Amino acid sequence: MSPARTTAGAPISSIGRGIAVLGCFNERRRALTLSELSEKSLLPMSSTHRVVAELVTGGFLVRGSDRRYRIGTRVWSIGQLAPVSDQLRHRALPTLARLYEETGENITLAVLDRGQALYVDRIGGERSVHTASRAGGHLPLHTTGVGKVLLAWQSPEAIEKYLSRPLSRTTPYSIVDPVKLKTELNETKTRGYAIARQESTAGNGSVAVPILRGGRCVAALGVVAHLTHMDIPRLVDVLQQAADSIRKELEDDH
Amino acid sequence: MSPARTTAGAPISSIGRGIAVLGCFNERRRALTLSELSEKSLLPMSSTHRVVAELVTGGFLVRGSDRRYRIGTRVWSIGQLAPVSDQLRHRALPTLARLYEETGENITLAVLDRGQALYVDRIGGERSVHTASRAGGHLPLHTTGVGKVLLAWQSPEAIEKYLSRPLSRTTPYSIVDPVKLKTELNETKTRGYAIARQESTAGNGSVAVPILRGGRCVAALGVVAHLTHMDIPRLVDVLQQAADSIRKELEDDH
DNA sequence: AAATAGGTTCCAATGACCGGAACTCTACTC
DNA sequence: GAGTAGAGTTCCGGTCATTGGAACCTATTT
């Protein structure tokens, strides 16, 4: 029998296979059949079947009456213990709520995660525009305000590495030229905040500022709004105050 | 070499081991050293070391500068896709917020998970009392309002099974006698709501109602408050309205 | 009734996983 | 700064859990 390896050829551990199966799920695909899991995880059906059964036993997957698998409650429960939820999210929440009251626009908080912007929280409602971001979801680093901030405050090497890979185009306004993006990132870091104009969603723009701790950018705070009613100077002002307030909150205890 | 098995003697899969390691974390212990993980997971140090390394590679664990391991952001991110978060929590949130505005007390939403009450959400603040519940955390089924509701609406067999195991005592007021608890559960189901008086936290009481879908209790909605200012009839009234509103919300789209 | 797709079980072969032991590193103590 | 304890890491031979192809179910469609 051939050893444990993906079709790509790289050997992979049993635990890696389990994680690969769990990683098949995303916002678009929250309920998957066994075949779909087998296809996406690149594992043979029989292997997928066994891995899935073990994940179900452990409470990491649940099988619905529709024969589809969904992420189990236990993953959610354990995930609540992650520092990003337990520390950042909880401490920032009151400030995010206040920002929303002040602006009436969508407020987003994101961190860098595996080369993408991970949305830790999003506060907003019918009063504001519809956005692509969603708590727990990922978006590219070069098409949103928070993404640009997270990238701009990275080390030059990390930035180069990001620029070396092809940049996805989400809208016609997305900056996909590495040279232009590099200039944009430099400007962002110099002026202290990022702006995105219809680079992620048509009609929407965003402004974002970093939350800095010890020189490192631990998160980015942003506002998403219709380009037409975006008072940038005012938004930058309230955002920077809020970022400062979150930073202090984080410093308070450890 | 002996096969893969816990000290208890039962064989366990590699994936089971990974889950066992992740299961070592809880609200009290969010950062664990390798030795602690080895001790709690009942795995030998060398095995723990390997499993942990694989989980780190997969982004399910992170190693801090303090040499302690924490739950990785990726678990949080994937956990957001669990139906309990994605469906129940998001849909119920506005109603919970409204309930909080109306009562000024801690509002809790819980589901049954592995024989315990899993707190899906908790809204409250300085205006109200301090409670033991926390989003993502578990509490026993027999010492809280929401717990009693979740248990009372279970099948008679499931209730018997729960009663057959020893009942933990959290406070001197906790009901730990199976016969008394059974009576309490019957009363709870008949009257349509549960009451708990200092059974979980001294000085606090709670009232809870079920959220029913197709006869099944899919969640429990509760209020926690000082026993002295608990207007039970009024709380039951607002809770039942809110539960109904959440039920409709859940029915709206599939 | 046949065909198709999706899901499950079986099983021989084997190499990934297992954990004891040896070793290294770190943090104290004296 | 030598000594020591504890934590963490690496090594490695043996073995059995894991693997995936194949066969087998079971709905659903034609």
Contacts with A244 (C-beta within 8 Å, 6 or more apart), sequence order: none
Q: Name the nearest CA neighbour of B107 among B250, B249, B242.
A: B242
pLDDT digits (tens, 9 = 90+) for B33-91: 999 999 899 888 988 998 999 999 999 999 998 889 999 999 999 999 999 988 899 88
Q: How much is the pLDDT for A222?
A: 96
**Percent residues over pLDDT 70 in chain B:** 93
Asked whether B140 and B175 are in contact (CB, 8 A), the reply is no
Decide: CB of B46 under 7 A of nucleic strand C: yes
- The pair of structure tokens assigned to A159 is 């930035």
CATH code assigned at B114: 3.30.450.40
pLDDT band at B127 (very low <50, low <70, confident <90, very high): low
Phi, psi of A110 (to 5 degrees): -135, 155
Q: If you average pLDDT over residues B213-236, what whole number do you get?
A: 93
Domain of B170? 83-252
**B76 contacts in chain A (CB < 8 Å):** 79-80, 82, 84-85, 136
SS (H, E, C) B28-54: CCCCECHHHHHHHHCCCHHHHHHHHHH
Same structural domain, A47 and A87: no
CA distances from A158 to A140, A155, A208, A215 (A): 15, 5, 20, 16
Decide: CB of B43 under 7 A of nucleic strand C: yes
* B179 falls within a domain: yes
Asked whether B70 and B64 are in contact (CB, 8 A), the reply is yes
* B4 falls within a domain: no
Q: What is the least distance, in Å, from the CA of B75 to any CA of chain A? A: 5
B6 pLDDT higher than 60? no
Integer Cα distance of B27 and B136 in angstroms: 9
Q: How much is the pLDDT for A127?
A: 58
Decide: CB of B250 under 7 A of nucleic strand D: no
Query: Pick from A23, A58, A78: which residue ends a domain?
Result: A78
CA distances from B26 to A40, A253, B34, B137 (A): 31, 20, 15, 8
More confident residue, B131 or B182: B182
Q: What is the least distance, in Å, from the CA of A81 to any CA of chain B? A: 6
Asked whether B122 and B135 are in contact (CB, 8 A), the reply is yes
Of A60, A85, A135, the CB nearest to B19: A60
* A6 falls within a domain: no
* A9 falls within a domain: no
Asked whether B207 and B230 are in contact (CB, 8 A), the reply is yes
Q: Name the nearest CA neighbour of B247 among B84, B98, B83, B88.
A: B88
Same structural domain, B18 and B94: no
Decide: CB of A211 under 7 A of nucleic strand D: no
Same structural domain, B43 and B90: no
CATH code assigned at A57: 1.10.10.10
Q: Name the nearest CA neighbour of B218 among B153, B134, B135.
A: B153
Query: Pick from B41, B56, B78: which residue ends a domain?
Result: B78
Q: How much is the pLDDT for A94?
A: 87
More confident residue, B28 or B128: B28
B189 pLDDT higher than 90? yes
Same structural domain, B246 and B143: yes
Half-sphere exposure of B146 (CA within 13 A, CB side): 31
B173 pLDDT higher than 80? yes
Low-confidence ranges of chain A (pLDDT < 50): 1-10
What letter does residue B5 receive in the DSSP assignment?
A: B
- The pair of structure tokens assigned to B109 is 């939403």
The separation between the first and the last C-alpha atoms of chain A, rounded to the nearest angstrom, is 52
Decide: CB of B35 under 7 A of nucleic strand C: no
Q: How much is the pLDDT for B254?
A: 55
* B29 falls within a domain: yes
B182 pLDDT higher than 80? yes
Asked whether A218 and A252 are in contact (CB, 8 A), the reply is no
Q: What angle do CA B107, B122, A217 make, to 5 degrees?
A: 145
User: For all residues of chain B together, what is the average pLDDT?
Assistant: 90
Residue A203, SS3?
Answer: coil
Q: How much is the pLDDT for A157?
A: 93
Q: If you average pLDDT over residues B189-203, what whole number do you get?
A: 95
Query: Could you say which nucleotides of strand D lie within 7 A of any protein CB atom?
Result: 6-11, 13-22
* A87 falls within a domain: yes
Decide: CB of B1 under 7 A of nucleic strand C: yes
Same structural domain, B64 and B119: no
- Protein residue at shortest CA distance from C1' of C14: A1
Query: Pick from B28, B62, B78: which residue ends a domain?
Result: B78
**B79 contacts in chain A (CB < 8 Å):** 71, 75-80, 136
- The pair of structure tokens assigned to B187 is 């009363």
Half-sphere exposure of B190 (CA within 13 A, CB side): 6
CA A253 to chain centre: 26
* B235 falls within a domain: yes
Same structural domain, B65 and B185: no
Q: Do B15 and A16 touch (CB under 8 A)?
A: no
DSSP strands (E only) in chain A: 61-63, 69-71, 106-113, 116-123, 138-139, 194-197, 204-213, 216-226
Q: Name the nearest CA neighbour of A219 among A101, A102, A79, A91.
A: A91
Same structural domain, B119 and B236: yes
- Protein residue at shortest CA distance from C1' of C12: A1
Total tally of structural domains belonging to chain A: 2
Length of chain B: 254
Residue A242, SS3?
Answer: helix
Q: Which nucleotide's C1' sits nearest to the alpha carbon of A67?
A: C7
**A76 contacts in chain B (CB < 8 Å):** 79-80, 82, 84-85, 136
B175 pLDDT higher than 80? yes
* B2 falls within a domain: no
Strand order in the sheet with A194-197: A138-139, A116-123, A106-113, A216-226, A204-213, A194-197
Phi, psi of A218 (to 5 degrees): -90, -20
pLDDT band at B1 (very low <50, low <70, confident <90, very high): very low
CA distances from B87 to B80, B83, B166, B209 (A): 10, 5, 34, 19
Same structural domain, B57 and B114: no
Integer Cα distance of B18 and B168 in angstroms: 29
Integer Cα distance of B8 and B210 in angstroms: 38
Task: Count CB-CB contacts under 10 A for residue B64.
Answer: 10
CA distances from A122 to A174, B32, B101 (A): 22, 30, 21
Contacts with A171 (C-beta within 8 Å, 6 or more apart), sequence order: A143, A198, A199, A200, A201, A202
Task: Count CB-CB contacts under 10 A for residue B232.
Answer: 12
Same structural domain, B158 and B54: no
pLDDT digits (tens, 9 = 90+) for A165-196: 999 999 999 999 999 999 999 999 999 999 99
Q: Where are the alpha helices (DSSP H) in chain B?
A: 14-22, 34-41, 45-57, 73-79, 83, 90-103, 145-152, 156-164, 178-191, 232-252
**Percent residues over pLDDT 90 in chain B:** 72
Same structural domain, B172 and B52: no
Same structural domain, B126 and B113: yes
Same structural domain, A132 and A210: yes
Q: How much is the pLDDT for B33?
A: 93
Asked whether A111 and B73 are in contact (CB, 8 A), the reply is yes
B9 pLDDT higher than 60? no
